[in-house]
Chains A and B, each alone.
Chain A
Amino acid sequence: MEKEKLLITSSPHIKDDDTVEKIMYGVIIALIPASVMGVYYFGLHALLLIIASIAAAVVTEAVFQKFRNYPVTITDGSAVITGLLLALNLPPGLPVWMAIVGSVFAIALGKQVFGGLGHNPFNPALIGRAFLVASFPVHMTTWISPVDGTTTATPLGLMKLQGVSTDYMSLFLGKIGGCIGETSALAILIGAAYLLYKGYIDWRIPLSYLGTVAVLTTVFGQDPIFHLFAGGLMLGAFFMATDMVTSPITKKGRWIFGIGAGILVVVIRLWGGYPEGVSYSILLMNGVTPLINRYTRPRVFGEVKNNG
């Protein structure tokens, strides 16, 4: 009798269906409502920025991987997310070439120099954005009104510089000045609900992040609802602070991460030089994530306290 050819590996012999690709494409799907609303409010130039930023991110990733003799993994969707998230964090009137520069920078120096997917300490899209803010401060803070296409200020800018508030409905629907993907809280929440349902993000980070901002702004006599819905907080809380690679792996760590980022946002918004602090709050917390992981190791099952 002919011998069967059998595969021998050690257990487990079955694996869950979820893959890195599925998670990445899930995040992309979740970003579609915010992208659509951005294009709806800010027009075709916004769409052009999104396409250019994604294309630049994917090409940069491919070039880098080829150059380093690594397998080209641009189909995993992670570069697409970086490009898309960066675009959603750009002012709608930005010249296209600047978006491309930011996207190349995000992938090259935010991700690939560290070894690619899974190895970057900071959120690559936010690295790209921080680079653009430092390089082109005027362009990066010129906002367009979705109502008439004229130059306007963001609700946070209006509040900080002129003490003018914006009505809740405009904030919620996104008919306000701001980055392409950050203005419509409604669109972001739809995407976030999908991510939570799929289990692709942990609720602890957005809850602790948003909760901290709400509590602290109340404590300092501000309008917490305004602060939750204005600026990039919603987009940041659900789509950037929750980036798996750059946030803590422990549950306690995620609470600390969210609370820390919340404190930083409020400090920057109320006392800092910028009207908005979401990107920096997340980047700073990214920086301490390894430390948070180290000091929030869970108690092991059955661990006996060393007190006798």
Chain B
Amino acid sequence: MKTVTFKGGVHPPHVKHATEHKKIERAQLPPKVYIPLQQHIGAPCKPVVGVGDEVKTGQKIGEAESFVSAPVHASVSGKVVSIETLPHPVGANVLTVVIESDGKDELSEDIKPGGDLESLTPEDIKKIIREAGIVGMGGAAFPTQVKLSPPPDKKIDTIIINGAECEPYLTADHRVMLEHSEDILFGLKAIMKAVGVEKGYVGIENNKPDAIKKMQELVKDENNIEVVALHTKYPQGGEKQLIYAITGREVPSGGLPMEVGVIVQNVGTTAMIAKAIKTGMPLIERVLTVTGSAIAEPKNLLVRIGTPFREVIQQCGGFKQTPGKVIMGGPMMGLAQASIDVPVVKGTSGILVLSKDEAKQYQERPCIKCARCVDACPVYLLPTRLSHFAQHGMWDEAEDYNALDCIECGSCSFVCPSKIPLVQRIRLAKSQILDRRKKK
């Protein structure tokens, strides 16, 4: 198989075997859902329901008032029992609508199909995407409709659907590509129409040959859509790395993909767009991978947004070993959780539970200048130097050495034989540089 890739990167163990061949299962309805009013990058939503209100599945409960935002919807039918500030898996506490399910899962009357793709205008499509509360489901959770509305001076000519799923352990995107391939194709066409683009690609890492084959079959009669096999290497799914691998274009330093005429969307997001257009269903559930050595029965689960992690883990047989670390997302860029009493949000691509033994803290050793971090950096930075600058508060030097270009993929920290927290120090340098800029 001919593959394309980027320069640099690392080869972490895949560890996808536990779930890659398991069909997506629908999770049981939870007794209560906790729906944060902010599940995206941008402004939080304003609640449009009150305590005591009856809500139906798919009903809007949080309105997005600013441009960079996305509404949220009830993921079950039942009664709003409280609206309070509760822990959120991304960190800070967020205003959250708590709904007690009535178990009926009654659909809201607002939900109706958007019509066929031919009759919809680009504006219609974008409106459906916005109203459905769709955000980037790969993890970053940037409002999709905003991404599809570049300023008029940026000419977009290519859409890339990101099916790399380069994070170890995760298989949700893989399963979506196998089981909802038509939705991905439909979603891609919708995006191409919404942005007015002629060329579409689906990029898939070659450790998922079945998904590549399936998608290739599907697009064989589409002359402007191509499925591209990517070399399996982390961070192949990073936007800039993916664009480079497929188009050979380099997104300029500090710039966005649209500067080189490309928009990238995750496969889950793309399938969700298709669903929103076909059925009118907003983003109230998503596929996520529940896995790791401490999980009794690893699964790919279709889970309602707002379901607590604890509930999801119980539906996977609970813990078979003492959990040491619970991560939302993959092991390379996922977020460690303080508690499993946080809800699944739109950006939750997986729940990874490492055992006590695996959740190690490493003793840092001196840098031996082996330069593996230099070879691994997909942005061609010198992580060892940046880490040194950050350790000594040399922020000007860190800025001069392009700390702000770091995409925080963590390849440097992964390969370091001295177990130096390189990316962690570079993050510190980035925040210091930005803080100092603000003060000036």
Contacts and interface: CB of A to CB of B under 8 A. Distances in A.
Whether chain B is bound by chain A comes out as: yes
Sort chain A's interface into a size bin.
35 or more
A300 B380 contact: yes
Contacts of A117: 365-366, 368
A250 interface: yes
A9 B359 CA distance: 9
B261 interface: no
A20 B240 contact: no
B340 interface: yes
A249 B384 contact: yes
Given A11-B334, A13-B334, A297 B369 contact: no
Contact of A20 (B250, B352, B365, B375): B365
Interface string B110-149: 0000000000000000000000000000000000000000
A11 B410 contact: yes
A3 B339 contact: yes
B331 A12 contact: yes
Given A11-B335, A12-B423, A15-B416, A303 B253 contact: yes
B17 to A, nearest CB: 16
Interface in B361-391: 361-362, 365-371, 374-375, 378-382, 384-385
A30 B416 CA distance: 21
Contacts of B327: 11, 13
Contacts of B371: 202, 244, 248-250
Contacts of A15: 362, 413-414, 416, 419
A38 B251 CA distance: 55
Given A6-B338, A301-B240, A244 B333 contact: no
B240 A6 contact: no
A16 interface: yes
Sort chain B's interface into a size bin.
35 or more
Given A12-B410, A15-B413, A4 B339 contact: yes
A23 B418 CA distance: 10
Nearest to A254: B371
B10 A301 contact: no
Nearest to B418: A20
B334 A23 contact: no
Interface string A115-129: 111110000000000
B427 A304 contact: no
Given A23-B417, A250-B371, 7 more contacts: A8-B338, A15-B362, A19-B417, A73-B365, A301-B253, A301-B405, A304-B252
26 contacts: A3-B339, A6-B325, A7-B324, A7-B325, A8-B325, A8-B338, A10-B421, A11-B410, A12-B331, A13-B332, A14-B332, A16-B415, A18-B417, A20-B417, A22-B417, A115-B366, A118-B367, A118-B418, A202-B371, A244-B370, A249-B374, A251-B374, A302-B250, A302-B405, A303-B252, A303-B402
